[in-house]
Amino acid sequence: MKFGEQLRSSIIREYQWHYIDYAGLKKELKAASGPYTVSQEDGNNAAGPSSAVSEGNRPKSRRRQWTEDDEQRFIERLYGELDKVYTKTKVKQSEIQRLIAINEQEVRKVVDQVNQRGLDEPGPSEESFVLLEENLSDIIADVHDLAKFVQLNYTGFYKILKKHDKMTQWHLRPSFDSALKKKPFYNEDFDAEVVKLSKLYDLVRTKGNPVQGDSAAGGAQGSFVRQTTKYWVHPDNVTEVKLIILKHLPVLVFNASKEFEPQDSAITSIYYDNPDKFDLYEGRLKKTEGAEATRLRWYGGMQQDQIFVERKTHREDWTGEQSVKARFSMKEKNVNAYMRGDLLPEAIFEKARKEGKKPAKIIDEQEALAREVQYSVLKKGYKPVCRSFYNRTAFQLPADARVRISLDTELTMVREDNSDGVRRSGDNWRRMDIGIDWPFSQLPPGDVVRFPYAVLEVKLQTQHGQEAPEWVRQLISSHLVEAVPKFSKFIHGTATLFPHKIKLLPYWMPQMDVDIRKEPTHDFGIRRLLHSPNSGTTSDDDDEDDYDSDVDQADAQATRAGPRNGSGPSTGAQGLVPGDVEGQMVEVSAPNEDYPIYDSDDEFDEEDAFEEARRVGGWPYYSALAKHYSRKMGSGMLEVLTTITPRPRATTVPRSRRTQMFFGDQDVQTKKFKSPKGKKIYVPVRVEPKVYFAGERTFLGWLEFSIYIGTIAVTLLNFGTKPTKLSFAVAGVFTLVAILSLCYSVAIYLYRSKGIRERRVIKYYDRVGPSLLCTTLFLGVALNFVFEGRDRQIW
């Protein structure tokens, strides 16, 4: 669906008079008042001015020229629309902040009645908490609607600017960017609102008794299954996802007494690798046993003095060991000396041993880790190659790690190496020309990659036999997220920043140019109606743990107010949940209609092109008309031929419960992708020892059948007193078949064994071989029966 239709179908009653007049601006673009100019045959504008032609002699393939008066009229109306949207956004955000402040006072008042009442004094009624929860739900819906309003209008402005520059050849976008910086309605993020609403909703949900405890605790259960899955979230859906989660889990705050600051949610990591071989990259991509990743991480701005040195080690499940992420902290001023080998690990922990604040066993383990990391860096030539930056919003009950969710927005990867002769970090362990000033516009395009989506990480941990909470299952199977298992910021950043050195690409790279927004699959999302929040347990595990729950992280973030919401050009909510009627004025699409999702920036607007050709007339119009009908006729014929052509039909296999939980019931979209020349797409292949044993058992099975065929050949050759020429020829054929099957089985075994060792995605099944072998065996037994019967003169 085109953006104009999407805009019309997403009108919210409160904002209906404040949206960008997209249709009116499109009419302005078609209302050129200049003299007629010769157009190209495709209906586009002719470049540069041309002489006017009299009305009577004007050819049909003409159009009016865009004049300076037209430009001034369009600019005046465009800036008027910008002022209208900006004013409404500021007024509504001020109203939301005022409502939050009022409800905060009401919540504090009711909670004080709970905590300060005497033994014989009655507490607040149940209706008081129900009313407060309804009010907070309405505020959450207001934030959702405002975010959607901002996102649609921001997209609308740049859609119309693109049409303007394309149709008029007057480039308006640079000057409009300057005007937009003065009235940045799109930059109104909702970080502070989310944090405050999370605190208030948690107080109301728990009736004034929120869960207390260490935010880093909760992971010491003895028998649990832990599962981590990563998802991509489109910027249109980021705010809605956050608002859904905060109704069930509070925002994880390490220092509730400190006011929220933008830098509190910033997390930056410097990844090390060999810039010539990229050993760590390849190991983490292939998930080989013992594959490591080494990084230096800090929380907040560049002034942070505490740096964490981390090492992640992958362990295969069949080993019985868990993947490990170990780390220790050190002062920023000591990092360079440590990485060069001038500062020994003993000196780093000398002060900690004297103070005795940590157990000696922990200090010994961290010192051993520091020694191993330093040895690997010096011996294998690891250098800083890639930086990842993002703002994290974390959701978790304190002292309860059953459900832990983090959402990373504004994810950006930056080059840190000096391998191409450009001094970025120099002799320092990190480059100093950037900090947390996203989107790092001062960097050259080749040094930075801005990831287009937010990354949602869901960690579930339950006792055996339990399932994840219902709301979690609904969230991860909804249209708001796209499952991308094993996604890694390090792998993606390295693969995109070093295209000339990396030959093996991760499996999700073909998905980067596919729109991940989907049609809603079930009634799930933000609404104004009151819903009791579900609470429960969770389930399962993954080794790509990027959620920092160590005690050291709590120390590092002791000055943090809490994670920050994603802010950016398109923060907002996508789509409208059926049933969300109050305050809405939406045309809900019928089940058979196309999903109302507006087209991409690289769109070809067929409707506009056809109307333009109709207005121009002449050959462009007839050409566009012929193309339109020929395209429809061709697609119809192709559909008929596809239907009537006999071919093998695929058998529908029902989805497992696990697949439905993570991917929902929507249709799976398949797309063929050819990797760039000289590169390969690596698809994760799970390899366990039993896979090798299965290959050996298959080989032995082939040997067994080959021996059967050889036995039949010997029997045919030697049965009876006077073997005939026919029996001798048949015996010779079966002998040859037996020898060929033996050679074939050895070749297949070697081929599969090599594929398993190299974790290649090959066909580990054989459609033809077993069938031929069984057919040959059947014929052999049948012929033996026939010859024996004839020898005994039965027939």
Q: For residues 410 and 448, what is the distance between their CA atoms, to the nearest angstrom?
A: 12
Name every residue whose Cβ is closer than 8 Å to that of residue 711 and which is 6 or more positions away in sequence: none
455 secondary structure, DSSP code: E
Query: What confidence score (pLDDT) does residue 534 get?
Result: 38
- Dihedral angle of Cα 522, 527, 532, 538, to the nearest 10 degrees: 50
Q: What is the mean pLDDT of residues 44-53?
A: 41
Distance (Å, whole) CA 512 – CA 232: 11
C-alpha–C-alpha distance, residues 253 and 560, integer Å: 7
* CA distances for 744 relative to 155, 752, 770, angstroms: 60, 12, 11
Give me the residues paired with residue 384 across strands.
Answer: 272
**Half-sphere exposure for 427 (CA within 13 Å, toward CB):** 3
What was the pLDDT predicted at 163? 86
Span 269-285, pLDDT tens digits: 999 999 988 999 988 98
Expressed in percent and rounded to 5, the helix, strand and coil fractions of the chain are 45, 15, 40
CA distance 257 to 253: 10
Q: Could you please report the per-residue DSSP string of 48-61? A: S------TTT--SS
Per-residue pLDDT for 617 more than 50? yes
What is the per-residue pLDDT for 740? 87
DSSP state of 381: T
Confidence at 412, pLDDT banded by 50, 70, 90 = very high
Name the superfamily (CATH) of residues 195-556: VTC, catalytic tunnel domain (3.20.100.30)
Specify the residue for token string 């600051």.
Answer: 261
Residues with a known catalytic role:
489
Domain borders along the chain are 3-32+67-188, 195-556, 606-643, 689-791
**Measuring CA to CA, how many Å separate 46 from each of 64, 168, 169, 216, 696?**
10, 9, 9, 65, 70
The pTM of the full predicted model, rounded to 2 decimals, is 0.69
Alpha-carbon span 711 to 691, nearest angstrom: 31
For 460-502, the pLDDT digits (tens) are 876 655 677 888 888 888 888 999 988 999 999 999 999 888 8
Confidence band for 572, pLDDT divided at 50, 70 and 90: very low
Coil, strand, or helix at residue 579? Answer: coil
Return mean pLDDT, the chain: 76
The better pLDDT of the pair 752, 789 is held by 752
Give dist(CA 192, CA 265) in Å, integer.
12
| Residue 387 pLDDT exceeds 90 | yes
The phi and psi torsions of 298 (rounded to 5 degrees) equal: -145, 160
Rounded Cα distance, 732 and 717, in Å: 8
Instruction: DSSP letter for 540, please.
Output: B
pLDDT of residue 619: 74
Task: Report the pLDDT averaged over residues 684-697.
Answer: 79
Cα–Cα distance, 27 to 349 (Å, whole number):
71
Q: Coil, strand or helix: which one is 309?
A: strand
Per-residue pLDDT band at 222 (split at 50, 70, 90): very low
